[in-house]
Amino acid sequence: MDAESTNKLEENVSEIILNEEMAIMLEQFKTECRLQGMGNNSTLSYASAMRIFMLFLMSKNKTPIEVEKDILKSYIDYLLNQRKIAYRTLSYHFSALAAFYEWLLFDGKVKENPVQAVRKRYLKRYKNGEGMQQEGRKLISVEQMAELVRSIVSVKERAIVVTLAKTGVRRNELISMDIDDIDWEKMSIKLKPTAKRSNRLVFFDEETKRVLKDWMNMRRLYARSDSKALFISQSGGRLNKNHVYDIVVSNAQRVGLHNPNSERLEDHFTPHCCRHWFTTHLRRAGMQREHIQELRGDSRPDAIDIYYHIDPEDLRLAYLAFIPKLGLGSSR
């Protein structure tokens, strides 16, 4: 792409209309995303990323079927040097591209997915901080988290956000929780084993217990008889991670904590921001670093750490002493 066409694209990207072929292809991709179980926000985000890519291709007189590695390398250069995006956004653009070309590959429209090799070779260096300056993940205050939670009308969605914030678990860990994993008396949850987590035991406080009990009462109304999952969809099956993403993002957007139109990482509030909130505010409250690492389930890099055992009861008491209170009051 020459400098003149690049600048023209950058100046008018919101005004340019896709040609008919690409517009149809984009609508088909959105349908595919929904068939794959993506929520509405995730689908629209992927579609927005793909629209930018398609406009880029139009400026080069190329179609998605003609894309090769060199075009993708040029696209990275465009995103970084023209749009000045952060790594998180670069990564998200290529997640959308990978999904798009997996769909084309499945439908037999291309012979291979050109994104994977480029993604592996070039995006890794940005993730490691070699290619561009990292931006900070969004951190909200305890008061803002309380405002967010109080604004959520849905009992299920409220329980999801509170559980993410008060336990610091990852999305996959949340959706894999079963009812039988909860010890209501000790206020703890035994997580499923994963490669990323060393400690599987997490705790919750009285506020979280009340919110979860509210959800348990609501859950009985439409849970399938064979479903063990703690968090379920409207159809009664286990919730998926895209739905969790949409739940957090849509509620955060409603109270002004998430800006979907910004490319700055600190303007986005996602499920992982709850883990960031959990870690930061426990540390600010004075909890020992070792206790926080244990609650997060972080791997232990040093040999001495492997032989250092933290008593679960000590950890539980420390958690209850330091976890921020949101002032949620009694069960609704």
Joined tokens for residue 46: 């992927």
Can you give the three-state secondary structure of the chain, one letter per residue? Answer: CCHHHHHHHHHHCCCCCCCHHHHHHHHHHHHHHHHCCCCHHHHHHHHHHHHHHHHHHHHCCCCHHHCCHHHHHHHHHHHHHCCCCCHHHHHHHHHHHHHHHHHHHHCCCCCCCCHHHHHHHHHHHHHCCCCCCCCCCCCCCHHHHHHHHHHCCCHHHHHHHHHHHHHCCCHHHHHCCEHHHEECCCCEEECCCCCCCCCCEEECCHHHHHHHHHHHHHHCCCCCCCCCECCECCCCCECCHHHHHHHHHHHHHHCCCCCCCCCCHHHCCCHHHHHHHHHHHHHHHCCCHHHHHHHHCCCCCCHHHHCCCCCHHHHHHHHHHHCCCCCCCCCC
Provide the 10 A C-beta neighbour count for residue 133: 7
Cα–Cα dist 242/248, whole Å? 10
Cα within 13 Å of Cα(278), Cβ side: 27
CB of 194 closer than 8 Å to CB of 172: yes
Average confidence score pLDDT of the chain: 85
Cross-strand pairs, 201: 190
Distances (CA, A) of 156 to 9, 144, 214: 43, 20, 8
Could you tell me which residues come within 8 angstroms of residue 107 by beta carbon, excluding any fewer than 6 positions away? Answer: none
Q: Is the pLDDT of residue 207 over 50?
A: yes
Q: Which CATH architecture has domain 142-322?
A: Orthogonal Bundle (1.10)
Cα–Cα dist 272/277, whole Å? 9
pLDDT on residue 124: 66
pLDDT per position as a tens digit, 249-275: 999 999 999 988 877 778 889 999 999
All structural domains of the chain with their residue ranges: 3-127, 142-322
CB of 188 closer than 8 Å to CB of 204: yes
Q: Is the pLDDT of residue 144 over 60?
A: yes
Distances (CA, A) of 114 to 21, 63, 124, 317: 20, 14, 16, 51
Across 67-76, average pLDDT: 92
pLDDT on residue 126: 52
pLDDT on residue 308: 52
Q: Is the pLDDT of residue 234 over 90?
A: no
pLDDT per position as a tens digit, 272-283: 999 999 999 999
CB of 22 closer than 8 Å to CB of 64: yes
Fold category of 3-127 in CATH: DNA polymerase; domain 1 (1.10.150)
Confidence of residue 226 (pLDDT cuts 50, 70, 90): confident
